[in-house]
Amino acid sequence: MEQTEAWEKMMDTVRDPHPALRERRDAGEKVVGYFCSYVPVELIHAAGAVPVRMLQGPAPGDVAGAYMQPFCCSFARSLLEGLGNGTYDYLSAVVMPHTCDTIRNLSDLVETAAPGLRVMRLMVPTTVHTPEAVDFMVEELAALRPDLEGVTGNEAGGADLRESIRLYNRCRSALDGLREAGPGNRRLYAAYLALQLTGPEEFLDMMGRVEAGGTEAGTRRVAVIGGPVPQLEVFDLLEEYGMRVVWDDLCTASRFAAGMVAEDGEPLRALAERYLGRCPCPTKLDPANRREQELIAGIGESGAEGVVFAQQAFCEFHSFDYPGLKERLDAEGIPSVRLDLEHPFQPTGQMRTRLQALSEILGEGM
């Protein structure tokens, strides 16, 4: 397959994952949606279902408007819209974890807006660094497992779960390798998203067909920090201003792929330890301020010269963190700008002005 064609296939998976997933449903496979990077995909996969991250929903419309206030983020509004209007009609179930207040409450609204869809709750603890939190997560995973098995009719324990753990670890390694090779913003972030929008086997197959290097663009090295950024257009926009993303803390990219699950030991505990052990997302308690420390360390290691905050508009959790992180970056002399994302993504004049300013600052320093 031609390189362009192989990459285009991956881009298609990201742009519109729904037709392929519908085909798989029609072929008898079970597709299970999940809402955030704290849901162990390995468990869904081990049960024999295709784990698909809830991304790429339609523009919020009548369904979202009937259930959610306009001051809720358009990311969540878009997903409810999609669940209510049939965009995700291929799903057999969704796993909804406790993350922010919006997603927590959304779990109840999904049951009403999408009647017939099985909603499974995963009470991911807000505290992630204590032994009791890990034990609680293990218990929650143990409670989720039979629910998933009920959807597929397959057992999700023992050898199957270990195999799923190994498979996803390989996917994460492949993503690490791709980042090292520097394929450019669009290709790198398409690969992260592709893993979340299809099964690990299909992802590894796609990764086997693409070549990693060659298209690196942009001379201004930036780190991007935020929540879910499922739109490749955001990364295109950065590239338009000469920015190459060399490090990120995004839950649809590095935070999703960070850290391996131990392949020995008790699988559920290994999953709990990996998922809770990552640098916490803003919806989790972070008493040691790891997020700030890892941002500064990541900037140092990657050679990023500036930071782009890419967070969902109306996201209270990221908004609480922003002033402290910005203050620290200012103190370190690292320039930053903030983009408040709406779904569907439209680059606004304000975003362009901010990126232009950052680009000029970084250009001056070169």
Nearer residue to another protein within complex by CB, 69 or 348: 69
- Tell me the Cα Rg of the chain: 20
Tokens for 156, please give them: 């999700």
Contacts to another protein from residues 129-188, by CB under 8 A: 130, 132-133, 135-136, 139-140, 143
201 lies in the binding site for another protein (CB under 8 A) = no
Q: Which of 299, 357, 302 is nearest to 331 (CA)?
A: 299
Which residue from 112, 348, 350, 356 is in contact with another protein, where contact means CB under 8 A? 112
Q: How far is the CB of 102 from another protein (least distance, A)?
A: 5
118 lies in the binding site for another protein (CB under 8 A) = no
CA separation, residue 70 to residues 63, 66, 107, 166, 345 (Å): 12, 10, 18, 42, 16
Contacts to another protein from residues 215-254, by CB under 8 A: none
Q: Give the x/- contact pattern for another protein in 300-319, rule: CB under 8 A.
A: -------------xxxxx-x
Helices (H), the chain: 3-15, 18-26, 41-46, 62-67, 74-85, 101-113, 131-152, 158-181, 185-197, 200-209, 232-240, 254-257, 267-277, 290-302, 316-332, 349-364
Stretch that binds another protein, among 1-9, 86-94, 122-130, 270-278 (CB under 8 A): 122-130
98 lies in the binding site for another protein (CB under 8 A) = yes
Q: Which of 76, 64, 70 is nearest to 100 (CA)?
A: 76
Nearer residue to another protein within complex by CB, 35 or 322: 322
Cβ atoms of 322 and 225 closer than 8 Å: no
Rounded CA gap, 175 and 141, in Å? Answer: 26
Task: Compute CA 110 distance to the chain's CA centroid, rounded to the nearest angstrom.
Answer: 20
Nearer residue to another protein within complex by CB, 208 or 287: 287
68 lies in the binding site for another protein (CB under 8 A) = yes
Stretch that binds another protein, among 4-12, 107-115, 180-188, 264-272 (CB under 8 A): 107-115
Tokens for 242, please give them: 């000469």
Through-space distance between the first and last CA atoms of the chain, rounded to whole angstroms: 39
Nearer residue to another protein within complex by CB, 52 or 341: 341
Binding residues for another protein, rule: CB under 8 A, are: 66-69, 71-72, 98, 100-102, 104-109, 112, 121, 123, 125-127, 130, 132-133, 135-136, 139-140, 143, 282-283, 285-287, 289, 313-317, 319-324, 326-327
